[in-house]
Copies of this chain bind each other. A is one copy, B any other.
Amino acid sequence: MSILAVGSIAFDAVETPFGSREQILGGSCTHFAIAASFFTSVNVVAVVGEDFTDEQLAVFKSRKINTAGLERRPGKTFRWKGKYGYDLNTRETIYTHLNVFADFDPKIPEEFKDTPFLFLGNISPKLQLEVFKNTRPRFTALDTMNYWIESTPDELRELLQFVDLLIINDEEARELAREANLIKAARKILSFGPKRLVVKRGEYGAAMFSQESYFAMPAFPTEDVFDPTGAGDTFAGGFIGYLAAVNSTDENDMRRAMIYASVMASFNVEEFGCDRMLRLTYREINERFKYFKRIMHFEEIEFERKSV
């Protein structure tokens, strides 16, 4: 099955303790689509400015991503600059220039409207809702962020009723539920409507909740995080990419999707922007999948001390 991804395309500038780089191709749609393209065909809907050239388009083409929904408008592409602290866990935004993204009004090509899997990247819940109502997905996944949780809670809550999968981070989950304990927060969020919740916890791994099941895993033990930008969208791309590829939403495949999601994100942070992803091989992906199996494996036993 194919995926329709709606989100941002951006030029990022990043400063890390290891160096800095300007004019990196980024944005939620970009990172998501590149990761998902390893698993299935991806249709993107996004807006770019006149500074988006054939060079950037070639990146999408190299991954066979369908860019028929890419709107080019007068002006500049969304630009963001961030600076990471020494342990890469803290991030400061230096600037956010929305540019053409400020008036993003997703136009879904007719040919995209029946795409079975829909990924609503982190844009305003109002736009996400419009896209959802304007398409006929069989499975809808949603990302959001604190900004929308705080500024448009009603639209977000309306949207959550229709969502099959919400993928957010730890902090966002606690804020959305207004609950410090993540397990309680997850239960509350599921009561808002989503069939499933995936919580990304950075270096601590990820957890997945549904009414009937719970799955949790550690992160890949990365020694040198080089650039964390886009890790969350890459995670989502691996997750939904795998699900769409096998056209399944059963628990076993959801769990494998968690592993592929973590695998893809772990590669993405190894270099600036999408650099690592663009030379990633299936051998590397599947090796890292197996590595997760090894580091999480243990054998069952029953113990009882008879003499106490």
Q: Given A86-B180, A180-B86, A308-B37, are A297 and B221 neighbors across the interface (CB < 8 Å)? A: no
Q: Tell me, yes or no, whether A256 is within 8 Å of chain B by CB.
A: yes
Report chain B residues within 8 Å CB of A293. Answer: 298, 300
Q: Tell me, yes or no, whether A205 is within 8 Å of chain B by CB.
A: yes
The answer on a CB contact under 8 Å between B296 and A216 is yes
State the Cβ distance, A244 to closest chain B Cβ, in Å.
11
Q: Tell me, yes or no, whether A105 is within 8 Å of chain B by CB.
A: no
Report chain B residues within 8 Å CB of A308. Answer: 37-38, 63-64
The answer on a CB contact under 8 Å between B215 and A221 is no
The answer on a CB contact under 8 Å between B221 and A216 is yes
Specify the chain B residue showing the minimal Cβ separation from A285: B303
Chain A interface, >50% SS class: loop
Q: Tell me, yes or no, whether A92 is within 8 Å of chain B by CB.
A: no
Q: Tell me, yes or no, whether A207 is within 8 Å of chain B by CB.
A: yes
Q: Given A214-B295, A258-B298, are A305 and B87 neighbors across the interface (CB < 8 Å)? A: no
| A280-308 interface (Cβ within 8 A of B) | 282, 285-286, 289-290, 293, 295-305, 307-308
Candidates B216, B282, B289; contact of A218 at CB < 8 Å: B216
Bound complex: CA A123 to CA B39 (Å) = 53
Q: Which of A38, A40, A222, A302 has the most CB of B within 10 A?
A: A302
The answer on a CB contact under 8 Å between B223 and A296 is no
Bound complex: CA A203 to CA B186 (Å) = 14
The answer on a CB contact under 8 Å between A225 and B181 is yes
State the Cβ distance, A104 to closest chain B Cβ, in Å.
28
Q: Tell me, yes or no, whether A255 is within 8 Å of chain B by CB.
A: yes
Report chain B residues within 8 Å CB of A178. Answer: none
Interface string of A58-78 (1 = CB under 8 A from B): 000001100000000000000
The answer on a CB contact under 8 Å between B218 and A205 is yes
Candidates B182, B245, B304; contact of A282 at CB < 8 Å: B304
Candidates B242, B301, B307; contact of A303 at CB < 8 Å: B242
Report chain B residues within 8 Å CB of A300. Answer: 289-290, 293
Specify the chain B residue showing the minimal Cβ separation from A304: B282
Report chain B residues within 8 Å CB of A205. Answer: 204-205, 216, 218
The answer on a CB contact under 8 Å between B222 and A183 is yes
Candidates B223, B255, B286, B298; contact of A304 at CB < 8 Å: B286
Q: Tell me, yes or no, whether A112 is within 8 Å of chain B by CB.
A: no
Specify the chain B residue showing the minimal Cβ separation from A260: B303
Task: Kindly list 12 other residue pairs between chains A and B, CB separation below 8 angstroms, not including A181-B224, A286-B303.
Answer: A38-B308, A39-B305, A86-B180, A182-B203, A204-B204, A207-B218, A245-B305, A252-B299, A256-B298, A258-B298, A285-B303, A286-B302
Report chain B residues within 8 Å CB of A255. Answer: 297-299
Specify the chain B residue showing the minimal Cβ separation from A40: B305
Interface string of A193-210 (1 = CB under 8 A from B): 000000001011101000
Report chain B residues within 8 Å CB of A86. Answer: 180
Specify the chain B residue showing the minimal Cβ separation from A62: B308
